[in-house]
A and B are shown apart, each in its own frame.
Chain A
């Protein structure tokens, strides 16, 4: 069965970087795009961007341009999202989500809480 398993919770200081991983199993990793979505405490879902797990091409939402980098390692079927120059309001749960052919998210990781605190 399809599974997306994310790395654990992180606590970072303002200005630091964080890298969250998303290990996929149960399907052909390179056959899909992986997206990243975050959710601040008590808030809604915010789309951050995607990576083509085959080519490695990525597209980022404008608000994250210059601070986010999405990569993948096909040898271990893992996607990564790195966010730099962290601010207090980057505190959120970060989800990876697989995009289906009809442009909806059919499988989600369990989420990784990133807390930005001094």
Chain B
């Protein structure tokens, strides 16, 4: 069965970076895109970008283009999302989600990133 397992909770100071991982199993890793979506406390879902897990090509939401990098390591079926220069309002749960032809059919469990001085 398809599973996406994300890395654990992170606490960071403003200005630091964080990298969240998403390990996939149960399907051919490189056959799909992976998207990253975040959810600030009490707020809605926000699309951050996507990565082609085969080629490594990326598309980022304009808001995140300067500070977010998505990568992948097909040898261990893992996708990564790094946010640099963290701000307090980057505090959110970050989700990876598998793309099945333009919809998200499987989601990771979420990773809470707290940014606080």
A binds B: no
Give A contacts to B, CB under 8 Å: none
Chain B residues with CB under 8 Å of chain A are: none
